[in-house]
Amino acid sequence: MAKRTQGKPLTVDQIRKMREEYLLPSTMTYYKKPVNIVRGEMQYVYDDRGRRYIDAFSAVVTISVGHCHPEVIERTVEQLKTLQHMTTLYFHPTIVRYAKKMAESARKANPNLKVSFFTNSGCEANELAALLAKNYTGTHEFIAVRHSFHGRTLMAMTLTGQSLWRHSLPYVFGVHHAPAGYTYRCPVGVSPRNLGKWAAEEVEKIIKYSTCGKLAAFIAEPIQGFGGVITPPPDYFPRIYDVVKKYGGVFISDEVQTGFGRTGDKFFGIEHWGVKPDIITMAKGIGNGVPLGGIITTREIAESMRGKVHFNTYGGNPVSMAQGEAVIDVIRKYRYDRNARIVGNHLIRGLRELQKRHAKVIGDVRGKGLMLGVEFVKDPRSKAPAPELVLSIMEHAKNAGVLLGKGGMAGNTIRVKPPLCVTKKDADEIVDVMDGAIKKARKELRL
């Protein structure tokens, strides 16, 4: 157990009261009976009673290589002791070393991606990507995707395609939303096979009817995270890419959740679709617990910023850079990307078995690598969402030692996204615990 340095431990009830008193009321929590996590070790976390949980949600898809990965922490602590903060106004070695490593890592997604800027979060990265696209193209029209999530700043919230995550605000104008590659819920007259073609035609119609006819950018998550692990068919992005290029837009891949090996074998999720993004935005898993985000783009697009000032106080700070570099190194050393494919395939097979066992309430199992989702319905014919069932399953699973996430417009998709170091044994435990939790929840809700 780690040495206690933060004073007397607080109980769940004390934390509940203090959250109510001192935190913004929109600060959410998942469980009726919350869990007080005090320690993390690779794919496991421990509560204040020493109880172990498999973190099958990676603290919202952020712990990519494992909680407190010893090799990562060692290098971060070394950096903390050497130089904690320095800005880009002065030279320091960590930022250029990391930027070079990022360019090498992005080569397969697009060999022209070479120039980075680092931020502290995903929404700042998306803001910058939008700014770059505007500067480069000289226009302000954007197409994002329904069901998407891009963050909580004004532009990121405007790009987000879910009312749940939008407040009543005067949004940034010029943003339009195209259909998602949601094969489980195709519009009437559209089948999963022709969804990609239909969606690309819709994108073209949006450009023709709702914009000035020129596009700054199309932005999408390769697999939508908060949207409920919506995984588009193979031709969805290639067809949309062609339309985006026809109208002069840049293609932005938001890899905040899908990056760094999570989808299995590929460093960036978009590589599965074979299109070459002009800008990649990232955060969460690249930092594995430190506030680190960023963009990588082509020299040509980056040049649109020459002569303009852009600055971010903590962006590219030595500690985040050192940890980011260590994260990429351990992904390569332990081939966590490959593990994501191997264990992910094993896990999805287990989840598909669960679907057979609970065919009445599991409508769809989808995803790639260790970015998996299970969509729950009240009845497979009507496909009516079952969000209460999901809440109950999550509560029972937590009580049995597995932390799961949720997503989707109706909150009816369970998200299974453990750290990339997870084993097949952990995957089996996740499936067993989910099975027991589903049984209890179905009994409770009579489904």
Binding site for ligand PLP (CB under 6 A): 121-123, 126, 149-151, 221, 225-226, 254, 256-257, 283, 293
Query: Is the Cβ of residue 42 or residue 280 nearer to ligand PLP in the bound state?
Result: 280
Q: How far is the CB of 30 from ligand PLP (least distance, A)?
A: 15
What order of strands is seen across the sheet that includes strand 175-178? 113-119, 293-298, 279-282, 250-254, 217-220, 142-145, 175-178
CB of 288 to ligand PLP, least distance (A): 13
Shortest distance, position 220 Cβ to ligand PLP, whole Å = 9
Q: Least CB distance from residue 280 to ligand PLP, whole Å?
A: 12
Distance of CA 433 to the CA centre of its chain: 24
Q: Which of 64, 52, 56 is nearest to 427 (CA)?
A: 56
Separation of alpha carbons 376 and 149, rounded Å = 20
Q: Which is nearer to ligand PLP, 123 or 404 (CB)?
A: 123
Q: Quick one: 350 or 369, whose CB is closer to ligand PLP? A: 369
| CA separation for the pair 438, 444 (Å, rounded) | 10
Of the pair 150, 358, the CB lying nearest ligand PLP is at 150
Q: Is 61 helix (H, G, I), strand (E, B) or coil?
A: helix
Tokens at 188, concatenated: 């009437």
CB of 256 to ligand PLP, least distance (A): 4
- What the block records as the tokens of 365 is 């199992």
Spatial distance between the Cα atoms of 363 and 383, rounded to a whole number of angstroms: 7
Beta pairing, strands 293-298 & 37-41: unpaired
Q: Tokens 């009830």 label which residue?
A: 13
Which is closer to ligand PLP, CB of 226 or CB of 241?
A: 226
Q: Residue 59 Cβ, how far from ligand PLP at the closest point, in Å?
A: 11
Name the 3-class secondary structure at 47. strand
Task: Return the residue nearest ligand PLP (CB atom).
Answer: 122
Using the minimum distance from each CB to ligand PLP, give the nearer residue, 151 or 179.
151
DSSP 41: E
